[in-house]
A = this chain, B = another copy of it.
Amino acid sequence: MRVYLAGPDVFLPDPVARGVALKAICARHGLTGVFPLDVPAVQPASWAGLPEWRRIALCNEAHIRACDALIANLTPFRGPSADVGTVFELGFMRALGRPVFGWSATAEPFADRTRRLYPTHRDGSVWRDAEELTVESFGCNDNLMIDGAVLASGGTLEVDDLPPERRWTDLGLFERCVVRAAAVLATRGGEGDISVSDVHIAEEGP
C-alpha cells in the first residue's frame, strides 16, 4: 500500500533526511511512503518547459493519484491552521475517495488557537475577529472540512501536545498515525471511502 506523506516537512532544514525518516517508519509498518520530493522515474514530456514550481505541483498531484491513502502533518503552520499546501493535497485525495489520515503536534482546539493568535470579541453566541469575521467554533482540530474529510474517509486524526522545540522533530505521533493507517488499510484494502464518494445530493434548480 502506497501512502502519500503530505506536510510542511518539505520546508524543514533537511527535507531529504526527513523524507527518509518518514519512509522508514512507514516501511516498519508495511506501508510504502511517498514523499513530495520523490522524483518520478518518468515525467510527461509536456512538463519539460514548465517552471520548477509548476512541475512540483503537477508531480505532487500525480503522486497523490498513484497512492492508496494520504497521511497529513496538520501541525499548525504560521498561524492557527495547517499548511495550505498540505490541506490542498488532503482535499485532493479526499475527492478521489481514498482514506486520509492526519496528525498534529497540538491538541489545542482550532477555535482556541485562533483566539489566542488573533484579537477577538464576542457577538451574541459567536466570536468575531477584528474584521468582524466569525471564528469557526465546532470543537474541531482545524477547519471543519479537514476534520470532516478525515472522519468521512475512514481515516483517523492523532493529536497530542508536543513541546514547541520538539514539534518538528518528534516522530512518535507520526508513527502512531502510521500504525492506525496500516490497520485501516489492511481491513479496507485501500478501497477508499465507502460512505460519501458516490453520494449525489439533489440540488435546488438554477
A156 at the interface (CB under 8 A from B): no
Contact B203 A84 (CB under 8 A): no
A145 at the interface (CB under 8 A from B): yes
Query: Which residues of A (1-47) have their CB < 8 Å from a CB of B?
Result: 2, 8, 11-13, 32, 34, 38, 40-44, 46
Contact A148 B54 (CB under 8 A): yes
Interface centre among A59, A61, A94 (most CB of B within 10 A): A61
A158 at the interface (CB under 8 A from B): no
Contact B83 A203 (CB under 8 A): no
Contact B85 A84 (CB under 8 A): no
- Contact check: which of B44, B62, B80, B84 meets A146 at CB < 8 Å? B84
A121 at the interface (CB under 8 A from B): no
Contact B62 A201 (CB under 8 A): yes
**Closest chain B residue to A202, Cβ basis:** B42
Say yes or no: A117-B78 contact (C-beta < 8 A), given A144-B53, A147-B57, A148-B54. yes
Query: How many chain copies does the complex carry?
Result: 2
Contact B53 A140 (CB under 8 A): yes
Query: Which residues of A (44-94) have their CB < 8 Å from a CB of B?
Result: 44, 46, 51-54, 56-66, 77-85, 87-94
A195 at the interface (CB under 8 A from B): yes
- Contact check: which of B64, B132, B149 meets A88 at CB < 8 Å? B149
Contact A144 B91 (CB under 8 A): no
A196 at the interface (CB under 8 A from B): yes
A residues whose Cβ falls under 8 Å from a Cβ of B: 2, 8, 11-13, 32, 34, 38, 40-44, 46, 51-54, 56-66, 77-85, 87-96, 114, 117-118, 128-129, 131-136, 138, 140, 142-149, 151-152, 168, 195-196, 199-204, 206
Further 8 A-B residue pairs, CB within 8 A, beyond A42-B201, A91-B95 = A8-B133, A11-B134, A12-B133, A53-B140, A53-B144, A84-B142, A88-B145, A91-B92
